[in-house]
Amino acid sequence: LPLNANGKVERKALPEPEFAEGKGYEAPQGEMEEALAAIWAEVLGLPRVGRNDNFFELGGHSLLALRLLERMRARGWQAQVRMLFQHPGFAAFAKALAQDTGRPEVQVPAN
C-alpha cells in the first residue's frame, strides 16, 4: 500500500476499485419492482439496483434495513424486517412482498 510521509495509507494514490458483476445486472420488472428498486438505491446510496442484487452484499445492514422499511411504509407498503433478512435478494424480496399482500403484484401507491 502506498504510504504518505506520516506512514499512513495514501488514499489518493490507491487505484479505483474494480467491481466484478458476477451475476450481471437485470433491470427490475414492472412498476412495483421499479419503485422498490428506487427505494433500495436511495437507502443504499447507489445509482441503481437490479433483480440479482442482495441488500447486504450492497452494503446494507440492520439500520439501513429499518430505513428501507420506513420509506416503504411512507409509500403504503407494509413489511417486517424479518422479511428482508429471510429474502435479502431483490427479486425474492419483491416476490415475498407481493405474496404477503395476497396479490400477484403490489400496487404502486401514487405520490
Distance CA 70, CA 3 (A): 42
pLDDT tens, 29-69? Answer: 999 999 999 999 999 999 999 999 999 999 999 999 999 99
Residue 21: band (very low, low, confident or very high) from pLDDT cuts 50, 70, 90: low
Q: Where are the domains of the chain?
A: 26-100
pLDDT of residue 14: 85
Give the count of beta carbons closer than 10 Å to the beta carbon of residue 57: 10
- Ranges 22-36, 73-87, 95-109, most confident: 73-87
Helix (H, G, I), strand (E, B) or coil at 81: helix
Q: Supply the angle between the helices 30-44 and 62-74 in degrees, to the nearest 10.
A: 130
Mean pLDDT to the nearest integer, 13-22? 70
Superfamily of the domain at 26-100: ACP-like (1.10.1200.10)
